[in-house]
Amino acid sequence: MFFCAISGEPPLEPVVSAKSGKVYERRLIVKYITENGTDPITGEKLEESDLIAIKASPDTAAPRPPTHTSIPALLHLLQNEWDALVLSTHNLEQKYNATRQELSYALYSQDAASRVVARLLRERDAAREALANVQASMGITPSVTTNEDVEMTAEEAAAEGGLPANITAQIDETHQALSSARKKRKPAPGYATVAEVKTFTATHTIPSLHSASPSGITALAVSSAHPSQFLTGGNDKVVQLYDRSTDKVLVSLKGHTRKVNHVAFREREGESTLLLSAGADKIAKVWGHDSASGEYIPRSTVRSHKGELTGLAVHPTSTLFALSSTDKTYSLHDLTTFTQIFRSVPSDEGFTSLSIHPDGTLLGLGTPTSTIQIYDIRTGAIAASLTPADPSPFTVGTLAFSENGYHLLAPNSLSSVAIWDLRKQKATHTIPLGDDFKISKVLYDTSAQFFGIAGSEGARIYAHKTWEELVKLEEGGAVSDLVFGEQGKEIWGATGREVRIWGLPAV
């Protein structure tokens, strides 16, 4: 008689391994191969095709266990089962009584604590009343006129009344300067034309950025002060500063514990460059260049949000930056003092993307329910709410204000984008992208002549106002992030572990 090498019992459907020669029950060895792919006895690689069925003659049924072949044995087995059930019930009753006692003690402690708190509140109110009487008798105006606790943090005060007056004045000054210049501004001499963009082709590829596991670049930013330098964030939790002219990684910045969602430069004339990042680990980091060591060192870490950070943007003043989070709030931070100066009141839903108006007075926030909320950045009040006509809910994972200040580009459905006219608060044009196109990034160039859409099928560049598709950039596959280069002469895209650059073909 055969015995299964796994269960030790006679198999009902015996098979033998061609690798080890051991006999197994078919259902047991097939399950083991599915989970491990090896022979359980020898550890050698084993497949189901290596099993050989054993056919005995004559066919005989496996004998019953010897302890279950008589009535006394069955009665003894039932008695043991009953005894085990009674013991288990007894143990449960003991645990139930212990839990009741613990609950009673907890309720008693809570009642005692409530009594103590009530007594302290009465004593506090009595002390305040006595202090008010003393101040009145001395002719001093009481500094506290209510029985409410008036202490609050700077963040709560900012949330109640908007930004501090000096910050608001700075934003207003920047807004006036930028908006007045924008009305008269034309594309700079030498800026890329529609005809040139139509000829763009892949000109340069920088491979093998970040770790291979987990691989993938998730965020990209290009320096305006040093156009050959760019910043990347990856699934490997690292932020890298790279110099294209030397093809070298200038610095690798570690500090995040989960993937990096967004990166940005803060470049301001007369001040050192700051590198910013925001991640899925709920924190944002600011690095600054240390002239003494010649390296980038941490300047600030923001841990005020309780959810994943989904948006990061530097304000046009270059002294502030904004963060959005899935915890239903957004915040503003000072890049001079590295303090939080504003935290919004929690919204009804989390925020999934963020963009700052080029004039600096409006903040656009995407949501997971298709709606785009526009806030006045100075007061925190909502200025507009844009809702697509498509009834199917989708996540607004990216959005961008145009440089002319009048339009907003954002997904309009799972497979299309819309150009919103902020003056009329309605979508003026919709561009279908195909059912298989998954949008990862939308953005305008600095001249407001072009906009780009990146996604699962590469990137596409369109002409603003005519909505003509100028070029498809499909080399390298899916594009996770997209940036217009200097003078619009190049387009940078993150594809896998590569940064690919498109531009005018070589002559």
35 and 99 assigned to the same domain: no
What would the two tokens of residue 317 be? Answer: 């003043």
Q: Which of 417, 397, 504 is nearest to 464 (CA)?
A: 417
77 and 202 assigned to the same domain: no
Q: How far does the chain reach from its first CA to its final CA, in angstroms?
A: 84
Phi and psi at residue 269, to the nearest 5°: -60, 130
Q: Which residue has the tokens 């044009």?
A: 429
The residues that bridge with 50 in the sheet, in sequence order, are none
Contact (Cβ atoms closer than 8 angstroms) between residue 407 and residue 421: yes
State residue 187's pLDDT score. Answer: 83
270 and 289 assigned to the same domain: yes
Helix (H, G, I), strand (E, B) or coil at 117: helix
Give the total number of structural domains in the chain. 3
pLDDT in tens, the chain (507 residues): 688 888 888 888 899 998 888 999 998 889 888 888 888 888 889 899 989 998 866 655 555 566 666 788 888 888 888 888 878 887 898 899 889 988 988 988 898 899 899 889 888 888 887 777 766 655 554 444 333 333 334 444 444 457 888 999 999 999 888 888 776 678 888 899 999 999 999 999 999 899 888 889 999 999 998 989 999 999 999 999 999 999 999 999 999 999 999 999 999 888 889 999 999 999 999 999 887 777 888 999 999 999 999 999 999 999 999 999 999 999 999 999 999 999 999 999 999 999 999 999 999 999 999 999 999 999 999 999 999 887 678 999 999 999 888 899 999 988 899 999 998 899 999 999 998 999 999 999 988 899 999 999 999 999 988 999 999 998 888 999 999 999 999 999 999 999 999 999 986
Q: Rg of the chain's alpha carbons, rounded to an integer?
A: 34
Is residue 409 left, alpha or beta, with left meaning phi > 0 and alpha meaning psi from -120 to 50?
beta
361 and 496 assigned to the same domain: yes
State residue 158's pLDDT score. Answer: 43
CB neighbour list of residue 180: distance below 8 Å, 6 or more residues apart: none
Print the domain residue range for 413.
155-183+194-211+258-503
Strand 458-463 vs strand 51-53: parallel, antiparallel, or unpaired? Answer: unpaired
DSSP labels, 193-251: PHHHHHT-EEEEEE---S-STT--EEEEEE-SSSTTEEEEEETTSEEEEEETTTTEEEE
State residue 318's pLDDT score. Answer: 93
Contact (Cβ atoms closer than 8 angstroms) between residue 390 and residue 432: no
Phi and psi at residue 285, to the nearest 5°: -130, 145
The amino acid at 456: S
Q: Which residue has the tokens 């003078």?
A: 487
Strand 362-366 vs strand 320-325: parallel, antiparallel, or unpaired? Answer: unpaired
Q: Which of 294, 284, 352 is nearest to 322 (CA)?
A: 284
448 and 482 assigned to the same domain: yes
In a domain, 100, yes or no: yes
Is residue 277 left, alpha or beta, with left meaning phi > 0 and alpha meaning psi from -120 to 50?
beta
103 and 143 assigned to the same domain: yes
Q: Which residue has the tokens 């499909």?
A: 474
Residue that terminates a domain, selected from 22, 46, 63: 63
How far is Cα 375 from Cα 429, in angstroms, rounded to an integer? 23
In a domain, 233, yes or no: no
In a domain, 167, yes or no: yes
State residue 60's pLDDT score. Answer: 57
411 and 338 assigned to the same domain: yes
134 and 269 assigned to the same domain: no
Distance from CA of residue 2 to its chain's centroid? 58
Q: Which of 413, 417, 504 is nearest to 459 (CA)?
A: 417
How far is Cα 7 from Cα 387, in angstroms, rounded to an integer? 63
Q: Which residue has the tokens 């002469």?
A: 489
134 and 262 assigned to the same domain: no
> Which CATH number goes with the domain that contains 483?
2.130.10.10
In a domain, 249, yes or no: no
168 and 278 assigned to the same domain: yes
In a domain, 20, yes or no: yes
Strand 498-503 vs strand 201-206: parallel, antiparallel, or unpaired? Answer: antiparallel
Helix ranges, 139-164 (H): 154-161
Quick check: pTM over 0.75? no
In a domain, 250, yes or no: no
Residue that terminates a domain, selected from 5, 28, 63: 63
323 and 362 assigned to the same domain: yes
In a domain, 147, yes or no: yes
> Which CATH number goes with the domain that contains 30?
3.30.40.10
328 and 467 assigned to the same domain: yes
What does each C-alpha distance from 174 to 8, 354, 357, 358 come to in angstroms?
Answer: 82, 20, 12, 10
In a domain, 216, yes or no: no
- Strand order of the β-sheet with 353-356 is 353-356, 362-366, 372-376, 382-386
